[in-house]
Chains A and B, each alone.
Chain A
């Protein structure tokens, strides 16, 4: 009798548990070919794409960048890029100029190292003068986590002091420009804790019409932690996820298909920037890239996600 009871319980569990028709994550094969059964999921992923990518301003990739970004625009899959304005590289960056020439909207990241300057207001004046076409400027990125320990580092209290100076300067002199706060670290709860500290250190005193919240988010744990802040002290502010991606090109498509909707739902993310267009041909970050071997232009490698976005399959 107990056996029958167990079987009935098991049957009941199955009856109420197996109605979820969600697709399992799928990924195209390494060769960039797709099985017919993948087609629906790929189209689903493309429909969930957010037309924004991170571009590292690396001159050696400029031809491949121009080609791939143009193709993405033509396919209707690109509206904006997030690109660094690197201290020491000058204010006439060829990659930024190229992106500008394509008419792509830019979110310019003012490099972390600028933030150590005593006269940051002057730096802002020079950057804004050099790139008048940029409307959105992000003040730093992962400031407390990305800087090497053997160089200058900055805690969040020091960052917020600089950010408040920049905010005041921009409101006074460039009221048409929008600022995006530094993007916090995208794994675990550290980023959310830092964002909460930023809120308490003055972020909530800034106008939601002038400041957008930037988040890097790579994990569900990070997204979960962020919700307590963006639905709490930063409830009035817009949210952009400025980095999300996957190190395995075979999972790029499923990352868009499954995780982009989650971040829109959980974080009310207006935008999600894919990290990144090119992340080098060697090293730990290589897999994030939508292209590789840009020096082989026009025969550079394209990720399965990029191939799908361009409608080449």
Chain B
């Protein structure tokens, strides 16, 4: 977490230096009024426990705690002026859990609004993400009692969508998300850091088996899953 924040600070500072050196004599640009399209690459990172009530605050779960990363590619367009209170839109692809090619392919679309603040832009966005999720959040904790009872809690993101042309009828997931970020745009570059909050329906299932008799308690719950992210963008046109 500290390293991530340090990275963001370095990036914003550097962005300011780059801007000053690239155009020393020019007045500050007002990029929010510029129509532009950027190609962004980014890194996102989750570190926490969805079964906890404080998913936003339990980032320090220790070196052995859960930690997941994803990389993303996005095309982001800014309007020349706000339309319907919106400053732009973007389409993106996120590869979650980079260890496996077979899963963790997520596509998203979002609309956003920017607010100028002393050379920075604050940005809020909302959108939908769809695709084949990774297995990063599928967890089962087993416990074994001396009387032979086996108990386990299984937590997983619910599959509520179909990925066409392959697999089972419910092999994908679709869910809304929100993003909050701060960014700096120069003539050619964009640097952004912030938090994405995916709103995912999870299953929280409890099982207990004794003498082959199974009892279970199956619950669904929409859960906020925060990611920290940094993006770097290059202006395309």
Complex Cα gap A236–B167 (Å): 21
User: Bound state CA distance, A21 and B156, in angstroms?
Assistant: 24
Q: Return B192 CB to nearest CB of chain A, in Å.
A: 12
Pick the contact of A220: B103, B189, B218 (CB < 8 A): B103
Cβ B3 vs Cβ A15 within 8 A: yes
Contact with A265, one of B17, B138, B207, B218 (Cβ below 8 angstroms) = B138
Given A8-B14, A12-B230, A19-B63, are A268 and B154 also a contact pair (CB < 8 Å)?
A: yes
Assess whether B64 is interfacial by the CB under 8 Å rule.
Answer: yes
Within 8 Å CB of B207, what residues of A? 238, 268
- Sorting the interface of chain A by its residue count into under 10, 10 to 19, 20 to 34 or 35 or more gives 35 or more
| Contact with A225, one of B6, B43, B171 (Cβ below 8 angstroms) | B171
* Chain A 117-142 interface 0/1 with B at a Cβ cutoff of 8 Å (1 = within): 00000000000000000000000000
Pick from A2, A192, A238, A262: contact of B214, CB below 8 A: A238
A178 close to B (CB within 8 Å): yes
A23 CB within 8 Å of chain B: no
Pick the contact of A5: B14, B64, B102, B169 (CB < 8 A).
B14
Residue pair A8, B168 in contact (C-beta under 8 Å): no
- Assess the B67–A12 pair: CB atoms within 8 A: no
- Of A4, A227, A238, the residue contacting B138 (CB under 8 A) is A227
Contact A8 B11 (CB under 8 A): yes
Residue B152 is within 8 A (CB to CB) of chain A in the complex: yes
**Number of chain B residues whose Cβ lies closer than 8 Å to a Cβ of chain A:** 51
For residue A16, give the distance in angstroms from its CB to the closest CB of chain B.
Answer: 5
Q: Is the CB of A8 within 8 A of B169?
A: no
Bound state CA distance, A266 and B4, in angstroms? 29
Query: CB distance A231 to B212 under 8 Å?
Result: no
B58 on the interface (CB 8 Å rule)? no
Q: Which residues in B have their C-beta under 8 angstroms from that of A12?
A: 7, 10-11, 230
Q: Which of A19, A220, A231 contacts B156 (CB 8 A)?
A: A231
Q: Which residue of A lies closest to B20 (CB)?
A: A1
Q: A residues within 8 A CB of B209?
A: 238, 270
| Given A9-B232, A15-B3, 7 more pairs with CB closer than 8 A | A16-B7, A192-B171, A209-B213, A224-B132, A224-B171, A235-B218, A270-B150
Residues in chain B within 8 A of chain A (CB atoms):
3-4, 6-7, 10-11, 14-15, 17-18, 21-22, 43, 45, 63-64, 67, 69, 100, 102-103, 132, 135, 138-140, 142, 150, 152, 154, 156, 158-159, 166-171, 189, 203, 205, 207, 209, 212-214, 216, 218, 230, 232
Closest 3 CB pairs of A and B: A12-B7, A221-B102, A228-B159
